[in-house]
Chain A
Amino acid sequence: MSDHHAPQSLLSRVFSTDHKVIARQYLYLGLVGLLVAGLFALMIRWQLAYPGDAFPILGNLFWGETNGVMPPEFYNMLFTMHGAMMVFFAITPIVIGAFGNFAIPLQLGADDMAFPVVNMLSFWVMFLGAVIMTISFFVPGGAAGGGWTAYPPLSGVANYGVGHGASLWLLGIAFAGTSSLLGAVNYVVTTLNMRCAGMTLMRMPLAVWGLFCTSVLNLLWVPVVAAALFMMFMDRTAGTAFFLAGPGSLFAEGGALAGQSGGQPLLFQHLFWGFGHPEVYILIFPVWGLVGDLLSTFSRKPAFGYKATVLSMITILFLSQIVWGHHMFTSGMSPLLGTAFTFLTITISVPTAIFFLNWLCTIWRGSLRFTPPMLFALGVVFVFGIGGLTGLFLALQALDIWLHDTYFVVGHFHFTLAASVFFGTFAGVYYWFPKMFGKRMNQSLGKWHFYLSFVSLTFVFFMMMYIGATGAHPRRIADPTVYNFLGPFQDANVLIGWGAQFLGVVQLIFVWNFFTSIRSGEPASDNPWEASSLEWVAPTPPPHGNFPVAPTVHRGPHEYNAPETGERGWLTQAEPSA
């Protein structure tokens, strides 16, 4: 890797300030997080498929007193930690940490991030957060179980059925947030200030635009949720009552809360969703950008409406910050205010539809190359389309009151965000793997990985929307069979359970492909995809400092088969016209 420099000490390799090394560190951390949080999901689905039965393996180990049946408290921990770890320790490190660190300096023709030391710190702060989250499983009372949204008063009171794990959860998320913040400062400044000659803002690959929008939202909203988390931490540990209601509320009568009163539980919801709604865009922006680039590269056509795509992303960046109330329609908020939030939320579908149609127009009559990254990008187009359309239902107050907290919301969310980012992750890994590791991944295994994942994932989340659309199946319960009216859905729960296990097993294809390719994949050329953006101009794998000679950019990022590209049909951004 460091052929161009003298061997470095172990310490300077581990605490490397090279953005490509940090990107790989983030990738490994994120893949481990994805594995752990994914296993939680499989356990959740097994429990819902066979509630009341002894849980395989774990039942004998941990739950002897209940004959191996999973206790509801443990189920609560599972879905809390599944959500929190997926968002903060799987998606964030992969699509923002790994892709951002790898792509931004390379695609902009810079030799590294603006602040390499800060960059290194941001990874290790996130690593500490992950350690704290892991420890939280082993404290008395177990990990946090108040839901990934951590609504007070359940999560705000130390002795309210949620143990010390919830305090550690707050700290772990605060560390992850600090890491995102440090990363965001770097990404914004690098994008604004470190572009090579000729790389104007409107010549940047869409992936960089996506990561830039992500970073702006991170900068503005992570501090807000950090403030809320710290306040809740004080409520749990110092006896304050920022989020605990006063006398007259049901919770104050019992005694557990007698000393703490006067605060407002709804304030937490506002602060949390003030961050939480931008957060879904924080996670999806990098994938949107990447998909825009991939569709163009593998359709061998310029990205349709590049400027409109960029402008619609920037419009969404603004709108996403003023729609959080649509998460709170059932919280007792004024219906008039709810109507305003409905209106703003529906407005987002305009810019979203613009870039979505741009994607479709990009592949329209292109010379499509169905490589693994292209397949996963097309997968994102499909699942995001489904997710986006079902989002319109939830944006309407009247419908949302019916669907709130049902599996319809879970299905919608997992199509829009989870499935999109899941496919986006693999699109990015298959795409950049040759440049990152200098080897090629097995292409046919990559295609099998996509087809099998696509079928099982779509099935699982469609079924969730089906059982939720009745307005009946709530998302929070550990054992649906205790309610008679949920009886008709149990077969569906079994099918979802098996679909999820199948999806989990299919991922082993990727794990196998990833590690055997690192060990013994065929060596990659500098530009295996015949792509134009600058990372494919750099040597493979790129040395410390990336470019032997600083590149000069002559054109936009996707001028495939434009007249100036001549017989070959493509030119990198750094090649002068013939």
Chain B
Amino acid sequence: MTQSSTYPATPHGVLNTGVNTGKLGMWVFLASEIMFFTALIGSYIVLRLGADSWPVPGDYLAVPVLAVNTFVLITSSVTMVKAVQAFDAGDNDRSARLLLLTALLGCVFLTIKLWDYNHMIHNEFKINTNLLGSIYYFLTGFHGLHVLGGVISLLVIRSGVKSGKLLGGQHFRVEGVGLYWHFVDLIWIVLFAILCLV
């Protein structure tokens, strides 16, 4: 007997909350992720308020490039929404195409990010240059790792959608990756605003 047949998605058919178990798990996990980024952003606020002086972010950061990157990530959230809609409508091919597009936009974001790091390190702005550098690399680095995790999840879920193995009953898997992707997108918008604009 294989594991998957021993463990149905909802044992004994129980769903006490009425919310799909996988979806509930993703929300619970995201609550935890929010606390992680809250700690990072909170530390940034404390360090910045406690500093004697703070450099002008624009002197060090390539703000216009990062603004373009923000646009890329927001666009990817739109394609993600469309992918979930297409999957719900039973159009697996369209959904798979949109998931691939979302993953590609994630890759574009990461590529621009790496170019940005490379450019700044070339200009002698490194993680140990000053507190702004430490915080910038640390926060955006952790966010970048989350984007990478999202791209991998998107590609995995896409192959399931494309091959037709994921059916309507497993809707939450596509939706779950979507929730995570929107969360990563949202975190970036906050990071962009507080790191580059204020």
Instruction: Determine if chain A interacts with chain B.
Output: yes
B24 within 8 A of A: yes
Chain B CB within 8 A of A568 CB = no
Contacts A227-B43, A267-B43 given; does A234 touch B134 at CB 8 Å? yes
The B interface, classified by DSSP as helix, strand, loop or mixed, is helix
Give the interface segment out of B124-132, B146-154, B190-198: B124-132
Task: Name the residue on B nearest A228 (C-beta).
Answer: B39
Interface residues on chain A, number (Cβ under 8 Å): 52
A189 touches B28 (CB 8 A): yes
Mark contacts of B6-32 with chain A using CB atoms, 8 A cut-off: 1 yes-contact digit, 0 otherwise.
110001101111010100110011011
**A194 in contact with B16 given A110-B11, A223-B35, A241-B134 (CB within 8 Å):** yes
- Contacts A110-B14, A231-B138, A260-B128; A222 near B7 (Cβ below 8 A): no
Asked if B43 contacts A238 (CB within 8 A), the reply is no
Residue A327 interfacial (CB < 8 Å): no
Among the stretches A111-119, A366-374, A425-433, the one at the interface with B is A111-119
CB distance from A178 to the nearest CB of B (A): 11
**What count of chain B residues pass the 8 Å CB interface test?**
37
Q: Are A111 and B47 in contact (CB under 8 A)?
A: no
Q: Select A224's contact among B21, B39, B52, beta carbons within 8 Å.
A: B39
Residues of A within 8 A of B28 (CB): 184-185, 188-189, 219
- Is A5 an interface residue when CB atoms closer than 8 A count as contact? yes
Q: Point out the residues of chain B lying under 8 angstroms from A131, CB to CB.
A: none
In the assembled complex, the CB of B42 is this many whole angstroms from the nearest CB of chain A, namely: 8
Contact A240 B7 (CB under 8 A): no
User: In the bound complex, how far is the Cα of B128 from the Cα of A263, in angstroms?
Assistant: 12
In the complex where A194-B14, A231-B43 touch, is A115 in contact with B25 (Cβ < 8 A)?
yes
Q: Provide the bound-state CA to CA distance between A444 and B159, in Å.
A: 60
Task: Give Cα A274–Cα B46 distance, bound, in whole angstroms.
Answer: 15
Q: Is residue A548 within 8 Å, beta carbon to beta carbon, of the partner chain?
A: no
B141 vs chain A, min Cβ distance (A): 10
Q: Considering the chains assembled together, what is the distance between the CA atoms of A185 and B29 in angstroms?
A: 6
Is B40 close to A, CB under 8 A? yes
Residues of B within 8 A of A267 (CB): 43, 46-47
B32 adjacent to A223 (CB under 8 Å): yes
Tell me whether A114 and B21 are in contact (CB under 8 A). Answer: yes
Known: A110-B12, A184-B32, A197-B12. 5 other contacts (CB 8 A): A17-B7, A189-B21, A242-B131, A262-B130, A264-B47
* Interface, chain B (partner A; CB < 8 A): 1, 3, 6-7, 11-12, 14-17, 19, 21, 24-25, 28-29, 31-33, 35-36, 38-40, 43, 46-47, 50-52, 127-128, 130-131, 134, 138, 142
